[in-house]
Amino acid sequence: MKKEKFLNGIDVERLFEIMNILKKHPELAKFRFRAQNTWMNSWHSRSIVKGFYGAGKEDVSRNFPFIFDNDQPLILTGDNKGPNPLEYILNALAGCMTNSIILQAVIKGIHVEEIESEIEGSFDLRNFLGMRNDNKVPFEGIRIKIRIKGSKISADEKIILSELGKESSPVYKIITDAFPVAVSIEKCPYDD
């Protein structure tokens, strides 16, 4: 009986319990995620991700930080010490849509066997190199191809899952809508 508690590796009872709590206490749905980024040299920077605020309190469940490096490939004068920020965006979108599809499958009681996605972003580097004023350089776009495998999932259900997955993916929404970003320059102690 205990086994049935889980679907697609997710504790269904606990998930539904969380959703019911959030309906009654929407303030607990507010999450604030964070990263701290330090420029190392050239195009190389390093981010540390650990704590976050959620469910009404500061979360301390992570015992260690996640650390990851951004860099550029050799052809862009980088040292290839990590993927570049655009490649991190592609990972975030693919990972988020996979999460959303799994969530929708759990809600519908559908057992998923595999999900794989190939994602490609086309970008014109003139946008980055301050050459945008020369002419209207198009920014291109992202394409994601998703394969969902499940012996009991019909082709139609796969389309429905991916549509619902799009609608409920925060990263899909952040990228396809105009999402607000506020930038501020902090003073250094010795400024002025």
Question: Which residue, 26 or 109, is less far from a copy of itself as judged by CB?
Answer: 26
**79 DSSP assignment:** -
Residue 59 parent element (H or E)? strand 57-59
Residue 111 touching a copy of itself (CB under 8 A)? no
Positions 82 through 101 that interact with a copy of itself (CB under 8 A): 82-100
Q: How many residues bind a copy of itself (CB under 8 A)?
A: 131
Nearest approach, Cβ of 33 to a copy of itself (angstroms)?
Answer: 5
Quick note: the x/- pattern for a copy of itself over 144-173, rule CB under 8 A, is xxxxxx-----x--xx--x-x-xxxxxxxx
25's tokens: 């206490």
Nearest approach, Cβ of 136 to a copy of itself (angstroms)?
Answer: 12
162's tokens: 């991916």
Nearest approach, Cβ of 3 to a copy of itself (angstroms)?
Answer: 14
- Of 58, 114, 136, 152, the residue at the interface with a copy of itself (CB under 8 A) is 114
Residue 110 touching a copy of itself (CB under 8 A)? no
Output 149-158 pairs: Cβ under 8 A, ≥24 positions apart.
149/112, 149/113, 149/114, 149/115, 149/116, 150/105, 150/110, 150/111, 150/112, 150/113, 150/114, 151/113, 152/110, 152/111, 153/110, 153/112, 157/110
Residue 147 parent element (H or E)? strand 141-149
Positions 21 through 60 that interact with a copy of itself (CB under 8 A): 22-23, 26, 29-39, 41-45, 47, 49, 52, 54-55, 59
Distance CA 135, CA 5 (A): 57
- Of 61, 109, 110, 136, the residue at the interface with a copy of itself (CB under 8 A) is 61
Question: Which residue, 9 or 109, is less far from a copy of itself as judged by CB?
Answer: 9
Residue 187 touching a copy of itself (CB under 8 A)? yes
In degrees and rounded to multiples of 5, residue 54 shows phi and psi of -170, 155
